[in-house]
Amino acid sequence: MEKLNFVKNGVLRLPPGFRFHPTDEELVVQYLKRKVFSYPLPASIIPEVDVCKSDPWDLPGDLEQERYFFSTREAKYPNGNRSNRATGSGYWKATGIDKQILTSRGNHVVGMKKTLVFYRGKPPQGTRTDWIMHEYRLANTTNNPQTKATPEKSLHQSCGSSTNGKLGSLPDIFEEKRK
């Protein structure tokens, strides 16, 4: 059977009538976990993009829709745990606390979800925008010795809005959608 690839030049191209609307659990178990451990994916539907180096409006895909990307985490400092989320025009800032992603039976944590907001400018004087991103990562990857040799990948879903090319003044990205 032929494996279909729905991503071309980093842009998701589904046939008319098809929608990609996975749950948090599906994103982590069916896509992120399989990507990290080099298992076959259900569909080649999520491109690899360095989301933390790109301004939200430069990420591939339709700005009016949710967009999904695989990305490898880059440390801000050589021996540190903090992520480098600076772009050419601003930075992604984590907001709130990380949310646990549980199996549908609710008895096992499979991943974590972090909400990020895009700020224009340099910290700490950046201006908050409407761009929101959700970062998904596997649970316990930092404590599991089997995954230390594996590059730390995360899945990002971004959502945002812009009016006449100017960003508004709200937050969040890694799962992009228009408000």
Asked if omega into 40 is within 30° of 0 (cis), the reply is no
What is the model's pLDDT at position 82?
Answer: 73
Tokens at 59, concatenated: 């990420």
The fold for domain 7-167 equals 2.170.150
* pTM as predicted: 0.75
Residue 164: left (phi > 0), alpha (psi -120 to 50), or beta? left
Alpha carbon separation from 106 to 25, 82, 111, 172 (Å, rounded): 10, 29, 12, 26
Banded model confidence at residue 174, pLDDT cuts 50, 70, 90 = very low
- Name residue 12's beta-bridge partners: 7
Domain extents in the chain: 7-167
Structural contact between residues 153 and 71, judged by C-beta atoms closer than 8 angstroms: yes
8-25 pLDDT, tens digit each:
666 667 778 888 889 999
What is the model's pLDDT at position 166?
Answer: 33
